[in-house]
Amino acid sequence: MEPQQFQQAFKTLETEVQKVIVGHDDLIRKILIAFFAGGHVLLEGVPGLGKTLLVKSLSQALGMSFKRIQFTPDLMPSDIVGTEVLTEDSGRREFQFKRGPIFAHVVLADEINRATPKTQSAVLEAMEEKQVTVFGDSHILETPFIVLATQNPIELEGTYPLPEAQLDRFFFKLLVTAPAPAELKEILKRTTGTVTGEISKVLPEDGGKLVGEMQQLLRQVMIAPPIEDYVVRLVHGTQPDAVNGGPAKSSVKQYIRYGASPRGAQAIILGAKGQALTEHRVHVSYEDVERVIYPALRHRLILNFQAEAENITTDQVIGEVLKHVPKH
Amino acid sequence: MQVLARPSNPERTKTLVHHLVAQLSRHIWWDSLLLFVPPAAAAIYILALLFQAAWLSQTAAISTAIIILGLGVFGVLLRRRPLVPTVRKAARMVDQKSGARDHFLTLATIDPASQPAVLWTRLCLQAEGFLNRIELRRDFPYKFKRSTYWSLGASLIAVMLIHLLLPVAPSARYSTTVRLRELAQQMTASPELRSLSKELLAVASKLDDPKISPEEKQALAQDLEQKLKEQQKKEEQKDNRDLLGEAASAASGLEKQQQVASGQDQQKDQQKGGGGIQSNTPQDGQGENKQSQGGSGESKGESTAQSQEKMDQGKSAQPNPKEKGQEKNQPGDAKNNQNQPDPNQPGKDPNKQKAGKTEGGSKDGAGKQQASEEPPPQGGPQADRFYKPGEGKDGLAAKGYVTVQMPEELVADAKGEGRTTKESKNTRGRTQVPVSNVPLPAHVPNAPTEKQQVPIEYRGIIR
């Protein structure tokens, strides 16, 4: 695939989603980047900001199968991955695997933090291995596969914070913020009138193949060794116990309990590659890294009690790391 | 499918960063050179000054200059090494200057063989778009760094301070030979000294010859000094004696310069048995102070300073024509000593006698005696008890006695008559010294030359 084709398809998808979603341009772009990088996205925001609509719109634009799972405290893992059910066919009874909602190209895990950790962990294997195992049988998930999870802020009642292991499996964590007044006005205009935005399918029938090619191209984007080194230094700089944590070590050591994992570095580089492609480049620049480091690392840094007590966010710590880690 | 255009100037895109690295390396060379050359040049200039002033021997000057140059080269290399820009750094600079977004960095650091050709070609094309924005000579010109100005300023200040603070003669050797030539010129006026003046000129020319070794020059100067002294002793005319004395002094100074230059000064003094002390006891008829340096443990700077002092002394020993006879170190004192004050001797030119009756002359004689009879203790300044009356720091004021003359004697002196005192009539063979208020030993060569009239109240007693 040529880079221009990628950019064209990407732009079309972006424009299509923007027909329904007002504002959140960067959010849409990051979700698409994560999709083409083969990652999953965690969307965090208070209820009513259009998270679910965004995901639905995206799946419609992609023209792929879409399933929505509403996570509740009584949701069971089998409700997600599926289960064996006894069926009778021409007088013969047998167990047959009934696929759960996880078997779709785009899965919306709505309010994922409202389910119990047991149910949350059921999504783990699916997200990482892109397969599920039920009664000893493994079942391959659809390709491409993306989980778009939404969650309410942790401090709200009736929520279960996601386990760290599961958090690490999300490629990006994106924050959905309240729309600006102008955007809100546009939202009202589009949703309260008689005419609402219609999303048409952008990708062709063999959309899966095209997405595969786009994912392949994204991985071919060139990255200079100095920029790779920079990413390594950044991720290493988030480790509080690192021997040479760099200049940011003091704030990192003060507020971080666990630093970013290698998955964080992978997410940064793949995200940067996607960012470069969206800007008509075939190589990664330092700016690309700086743009994607926040969504790539903000859910991978585990803050300690002092940070929580002082209302320090992971974004602030990442900002410190960026400020102090030299580019060359 | 869109067909990508080929990059029109792929070589320039690839080599731009490497050209910049080369250019910046040259800049670092210049920076380093400009940082280290001024101080090195200043140091060598100062060395040359010290060498010209004969404060340093030729060997020491050359070896120090070589060390300074070596340190300079080492400093240049040491400073340059960490500052040489890497390809990455240069590529970043090109990117920043051209407004590219790490295009050149990627081009310079990625192996194209491992990349998809389509993407690589596209990258080259994109980078080519920035090429017209950058011109290496224009965008990366050489600029003098602040360190260069500091280095230059500090070096100039050091040179100026050396000139201001150190009383370095422009060229002691040069001025001495010039002085010799001047003296030779003056000697030509006198027919007796004409041959000697030619010799003086010949020696001066040889001394200026850099091919002749310092040892040979020293020997030449020694011979010349000897000849001049001999001639001085033979000479009867005072002007000629003075001229010869000056020439001898100059020759002596030259000899010492050559001693320093050849590095033999120290050995010579050790042979003399110098214990590292400075003696102001006159050891020869010229009244020159010999200094010992060997084994004293003094630094070279001090010893050279002493040498300079000696040279200066030698220069000052040249009598001012207006003050003839009053100089302590006047050459020809030995002869003057023979003309010790004898106011009763008729037939002498009073002015000449007055000139002959010098303090310096008497002191020199005393110094000679002292040096031969009772060497002063070594290792420190000479104690006051070793000074003859009239010597020492207080000079004449501490002499303790004066020679007095009766008015009749003064009248007789003026008339050129002999002594009229009882002592002079009865005991002429005993002493030539007129009546005084203190007993004087017989035949004192350095009898006080001060004369004053006997106060009226004592005249009766004496008579």
Token code pair at residue B452: 């004053």
The chain A residue lying nearest B1, using CA atoms, is: A2
Check whether residue A149 and residue A11 sit in a common domain: yes
| Residues B159-177 pLDDT 10s | 888 888 766 444 445 566 7
Check whether residue A167 and residue A246 sit in a common domain: no
CA distance B101 to chain A (A): 6
C-alpha span between A274 and A29 (Å, rounded): 9
Give domain status of residue A213, yes or no.
no
Check whether residue A40 and residue A132 sit in a common domain: yes
Give domain status of residue A78, yes or no.
yes
Task: Let me know if A93 is exposed, middle or buried by CB neighbors in 10 A (0-12, 13-18, 19+).
Answer: exposed
Burial B313-342 (b: 16+ CB within 10 A, else e): bbbebbbeeeebbebbbbbbbbbbbebbbe
The chain B residue lying nearest A218, using CA atoms, is: B119
Tell me the helices (H) and strands (E) count for chain B, helix number first: 19, 2
Q: What is the average pLDDT score of chain B?
A: 67
Token code pair at residue A96: 């047959």
Give domain status of residue B259, yes or no.
yes
C-alpha span between A269 and A227 (Å, rounded): 9
Q: Which of B165, B195, B217 is the last residue of a domain?
A: B165
C-alpha span between B229 and A184 (Å, rounded): 117
CA distance B54 to chain A (A): 55
Q: Which residues contact B168 (CB under 8 A, 6 or more apart)?
A: B49, B50, B52, B53, B55, B162
Check whether residue A260 and residue A137 sit in a common domain: no
Give domain status of residue B279, yes or no.
no
Check whether residue A191 and residue A48 sit in a common domain: yes
Give domain status of residue B350, yes or no.
no
Contact between B110 and A4 using a beta-carbon 8 Å cutoff: no
Contact between A224 and B120 using a beta-carbon 8 Å cutoff: no
Cis previous bond, A77, omega within 30: no
Interface subset of B 334-353, CB within 8 angstroms of A: none
Which residues is B182 bridged to in the sheet? none
Check whether residue B75 and residue B212 sit in a common domain: no
CA distance B2 to chain A (A): 8
Calculate the alpha carbon distances from B29 to A210, B82, B145, B341 in Å: 55, 12, 12, 77
Q: Which residues contact B162 (CB under 8 A, 6 or more apart)?
A: B46, B49, B168
Check whether residue B21 and residue B141 sit in a common domain: yes
Give domain status of residue A208, yes or no.
no
Check whether residue B41 and residue B157 sit in a common domain: yes
pLDDT at B361: 40
Q: Nearest-CA neighbor of B321 among B228, B227, B235, B245?
A: B245
DSSP string, B19-55: HHHHHHHHHHHHHHHHHHHHHHHHHHHHHHHHHHTTS
C-alpha span between A51 and A301 (Å, rounded): 23
C-alpha span between B403 and B435 (Å, rounded): 7
Interface subset of A 220-259, CB within 8 angstroms of B: 220-227
Contact between B106 and A220 using a beta-carbon 8 Å cutoff: no
**What is the pairing mode between strands A302-303 and A82-89?**
unpaired
Token code pair at residue A52: 């679910």
The chain B residue lying nearest A285, using CA atoms, is: B102
Task: Let me know if B60 is exposed, middle or buried by CB neighbors in 10 A (0-12, 13-18, 19+).
Answer: middle
Nearest to A287 among B2, B101, B126 (CB): B101
Q: What domain count does chain A have?
A: 2
pLDDT at B72: 86
Q: Phi then psi for A276, rounded to 5 degrees?
A: -65, -45
CB A301 within 8 A of CB A317: yes
C-alpha span between B333 and B182 (Å, rounded): 23
Indicate the DSSP class of residue B416: T
Calculate the alpha carbon distances from A7 to A20, A24, A32 in Å: 21, 19, 12
CATH of the domain at A262: 1.10.8.80
Q: Phi then psi for A222, rounded to 5 degrees?
A: -80, 145
pLDDT at B441: 58
Check whether residue A153 and residue A227 sit in a common domain: no
DSSP string, B273-294: T--S-B--S--STT-PPPB--T
Give domain status of residue B334, yes or no.
no
B53 compared with B342, residue with greater pLDDT: B53
**What is the pairing mode between strands A146-151 and A106-110?**
parallel
B376 compared with B397, residue with greater pLDDT: B397
pLDDT at B422: 47
> Torsion-angle region of residue B273: left (phi > 0), alpha (psi -120 to 50) or beta?
left
> Does residue A289 sit at the B interface (CB-CB below 8 Å)?
no
Greatest distance between any 2 Cα atoms in chain A: 73
pLDDT at B118: 86
Calculate the alpha carbon distances from B239 to B200, B313, B429 in Å: 18, 21, 34
CB B267 within 8 A of CB B293: no
Task: Let me know if B246 is exposed, middle or buried by CB neighbors in 10 A (0-12, 13-18, 19+).
Answer: buried
Check whether residue A85 and residue A136 sit in a common domain: yes
Give domain status of residue B389, yes or no.
no
Domain with A230 in it: 221-324
Name every chain A residue with its beta carbon within 8 A of the beta carbon of B122: 3, 282
C-alpha span between B365 and A24 (Å, rounded): 114
Is the confidence at residue B329, as pLDDT, over 50? no
Is the confidence at residue B296, as pLDDT, over 80? no
pLDDT at B385: 60
* Greatest mean pLDDT range, A141-150, B4-13, B196-205: A141-150
| Residues B129-152 pLDDT 10s | 888 888 888 888 888 888 889 999
Is the confidence at residue B27, as pLDDT, over 70? yes
- Return the residue in B106, B111, B121 with the most chain A beta carbons within 10 A, the one to mutate for interface testing: B106
pLDDT (tens digit, 0 to 9) for every residue of chain A, 328 residues total?
788 888 888 999 888 888 888 888 899 999 999 999 999 999 988 888 888 888 888 888 888 888 999 998 899 988 998 888 888 888 888 888 888 999 998 999 988 888 888 888 888 778 888 888 888 888 899 888 999 998 877 666 778 888 888 889 899 999 988 888 888 888 888 878 776 667 777 777 777 788 888 999 999 999 999 999 999 999 998 988 776 545 556 778 888 888 898 999 999 999 999 999 998 899 999 999 999 999 999 999 999 899 889 989 999 999 999 988 888 7
Check whether residue B33 and residue B155 sit in a common domain: yes
A75 compared with B15, residue with greater pLDDT: A75
In one letter, which amino acid is B264? Q
Check whether residue B22 and residue B112 sit in a common domain: yes
pLDDT at B154: 92
CA distance A135 to chain B (A): 44
C-alpha span between A300 and B234 (Å, rounded): 110
C-alpha span between A245 and A236 (Å, rounded): 6
CB B343 within 8 A of CB B413: yes
pLDDT at B292: 38
Q: Which of B165, B190, B205 is the last residue of a domain?
A: B165
Interface subset of B 103-142, CB within 8 angstroms of A: 103, 105-106, 109-110, 115-116, 118-120, 122-123, 126
Q: How many Å separate Cα B184 from the centre of its chain?
A: 24
Q: How many Å separate Cα B5 from the centre of its chain?
A: 78
Give domain status of residue A151, yes or no.
yes
Nearest to A224 among B89, B109, B120 (CB): B109
Check whether residue B70 and residue B124 sit in a common domain: yes
Give domain status of residue A163, yes or no.
yes
Check whether residue B41 and residue B106 sit in a common domain: yes
Task: Return the H-helix or E-strand segment holding B173.
Answer: helix B172-187
In one letter, which amino acid is A258? Y
Give domain status of residue A215, yes or no.
no
C-alpha span between A151 and A112 (Å, rounded): 6
Nearest to B103 among A223, A283, A287 (CB): A283
Give domain status of residue A92, yes or no.
yes
Domain with B439 in it: 397-462
Q: Which of B105, B137, B165 is the last residue of a domain?
A: B165
pLDDT confidence of B260, banded at 50, 70, 90? low
Q: How many CB pairs under 8 A join A and B?
A: 53
Q: Nearest-CA neighbor of A295 among A167, A172, A162?
A: A172
Check whether residue B125 and residue B210 sit in a common domain: no
Averaged pLDDT for residues B228-255: 77
> Torsion-angle region of residue A216: left (phi > 0), alpha (psi -120 to 50) or beta?
alpha
- The three state secondary structure string of chain A is CCHHHHHHHHHHHHHHHHCCCCCCHHHHHHHHHHHHHCCCEEEECCCCCCHHHHHHHHHHHHCCCEEEEECCCCCCCHHHHEEEEEEEECCEEEEEEEECCCCCCEEEEECHHHCCHHHHHHHHHHHHHCEEEECCEEEECCCCCEEEEEECCCCCCCCCCCCHHHHHCCCEEEECCCCCHHHHHHHHHHHCCCCCCCCCCCCCCCHHHHHHHHHHHHHHCECCHHHHHHHHHHHHCCCCCCCCCCCCHHHHHHHEEECCCHHHHHHHHHHHHHHHHHCCCCECCHHHHHHHHHHHHCCCCEECHHHHHCCCCHHHHHHHHHHHCCCC
Check whether residue A285 and residue A176 sit in a common domain: no
Interface subset of B 40-99, CB within 8 angstroms of A: 88-89, 92
Contact between B109 and A2 using a beta-carbon 8 Å cutoff: no
Name every chain A residue with its beta carbon within 8 A of the beta carbon of B5: none
Contact between B119 and A227 using a beta-carbon 8 Å cutoff: no
The chain A residue lying nearest B107, using CA atoms, is: A224
Nearest to B119 among A220, A224, A226 (CB): A220
> Does residue A284 sit at the B interface (CB-CB below 8 Å)?
yes
Give domain status of residue B457, yes or no.
yes
Give domain status of residue B125, yes or no.
yes
Contact between B101 and A281 using a beta-carbon 8 Å cutoff: yes
Q: How many Å separate Cα B113 from the centre of its chain?
A: 71
CB neighbours of residue B87 within 10 Å: 16
Check whether residue B184 and residue B113 sit in a common domain: no
The chain A residue lying nearest B105, using CA atoms, is: A224
Give domain status of residue A212, yes or no.
no
Check whether residue A180 and residue A227 sit in a common domain: no
Check whether residue B33 and residue B114 sit in a common domain: yes
pLDDT confidence of B417, banded at 50, 70, 90? low
3 state DSSP class of B406: coil
CB A257 within 8 A of CB A251: no
Check whether residue A170 and residue A232 sit in a common domain: no
Q: Nearest-CA neighbor of A211 among A82, A66, A63, A36?
A: A36
> Does residue A267 sit at the B interface (CB-CB below 8 Å)?
no
